[in-house]
Amino acid sequence: MNLKEKASTYVLEKAFSYIAGNPKENLPKLMKWADDFDIAGNWKSQRELFHSIVDDTENTWYNYILSLFKDIDSKILQATFQNFLINASMIGYPKQRKMEENLDCNIPWAILMDPTSACNLKCTGCWAAEYGNKLNMTYEELDSIINQANELGTYFFLYSGGEPLVRKADLIRLCEAHPGCQFAAFTNGTLIDETFADDMLRVKNFIPAISVEGFESDTDFRRGNGTFRKVEKAMRILKEKKLPFGISCCYTSKNVDMIGSEEYFDQMIAWGAKFCWFFTYMPVGNEAVPELMVTSEQREFMYHQIHTFRETKPIFTLDFWNDGEYSGGCLAGGRRYLHINANGDMEPCAFIHYSDSNIREKTLLEALQSPLFKAYRKNQPFNENHLRPCPLLDNPEELPGMVEESGAHSTDLQNPENVHNLAAKCHNAADNWAVTADKIWECSGHCDMCTK
């Protein structure tokens, strides 16, 4: 960390401590100080955004910010502020962009990796187990990936699987070894208990995103009888210990009305979740069920519901596909994130099971400079309409060319899927969504006519 970064970190840490003492009273004072300090107007747009929140005490986001200070352990909130906002974003992001320019390859802001393919549940429709349930990356391999990523400016790491908490002892150990990094995990939540919650309180840099796709009948139908009760117990433990957590939701043609309902959003807030990450069903794997893919009308419904509730519900939401307008298109291929499976295969995305690099044979940087990741970099964005960001779901003609050009292979060890067969399952959905997405894009002022 250079002198400028150290000075910025010190100022932000002091600002956080000042707010935490009395957020309702001190937030407006801090904003006034920021206005006086930014004489040149370098941060004008950011200040205007925060003013729109802080100056309106009835604003949903103002109350959301206050709830963070009230509901989350102060030391954990401070560690999250330090690791996520300062290390991963304010320090890491500029370093990533500089490295990207110098090395002519994508450098990720976040890395998603699978410590194991094993899982304690057998959920209907889950493709993760197709890797086989005996695959694991060792602690040393995970630790090496994190160290290599830090050299590139990456400080945010997410775990998936399998069920990552099968390896919870190693995950806590990694938190201890890397206190300046922020960790999160997509988990079914059933392995969260009092002991693990106490470990989370101790290390301060681990946040779970619990997979819940409905209420008791829906959850137990897919995940097994009694699962919903176990998940609710886990969320009660986290809430009582003032630990932050979120929800991970996969919406399908069968559950979209319920997932997008006001009742469900209210329930997530009542559980104590501070964020929700939405995904849609992808027909990945030879045993996938394309009928579970949402229709264009259902995808549009979720787009509008999430945007509406962002203004009225105190929960932070992300929509992996429909938020492409904010990310400038596809995030994958290392542009903002990548995936490393439990076999060490480095994939562009958690939903793109093709690779030309294994972390056991190449360094992280060498993998980012591989033909497949270079192909992603060359072709991004895959569509000028960023509501159609994905090279599979929205532009299925794009993925086969990149896979074949790079010589990448299927990473499904049990039942490899031909990339043309995979893409074919998405053509109808992509064509239908294109009509709807283009209308939304135009109405949002993004078309050529609107920008002239």
Residue in the block written with tokens 């990936």: 145
Digit-coded pLDDT (tens) for 288-300:
899 999 999 999 9
Domain ranges of the chain: 3-78, 337-444
Most confident range (mean pLDDT) of 83-92, 220-229, 285-294, 395-404 is 395-404
Token pair 């205007």 is found at 48
Give the span between the Cα atoms of 95 and 273, in whole angstroms. 32
Q: Are 271 and 239 in contact (CB under 8 A)?
A: yes
Arithmetic mean of pLDDT, 158-178: 96
What's the average model confidence in pLDDT over 344-371?
98
How far apart are the C-alpha atoms of 312 and 67, rounded to whole Å?
15
What average pLDDT score do residues 172-196 get?
97
Mean pLDDT of 135-146: 97
- pLDDT of 8 > 90? The answer is no
Reduce the DSSP state of residue 317 to 3 states and report it. strand
CA 83, CA 98: separation in Å to the nearest integer?
Answer: 20
The answer on pLDDT for 159 being more than 80 is yes
Overall pTM surpassing 0.75 (yes/no): yes
Q: How far is CA 393 from CA 137, 211, 328, 435, in A?
A: 29, 22, 16, 14
- Band (pLDDT 50/70/90 cuts) for residue 4 is low
Q: What gap in Å lies between CA 354 and CA 405, rounded to an integer?
A: 12
- DSSP string for residues in 191-246: T--HHHHHHHHHH--EEEEEE--SSHHHHHHHH-TTHHHHHHHHHHHHHHTT---E
Count the helix, strand and coil residues of the chain and give each as a percent rounded to the nearest 5: 55, 10, 35
User: What is the average pLDDT value for the chain, to the nearest integer?
Assistant: 91
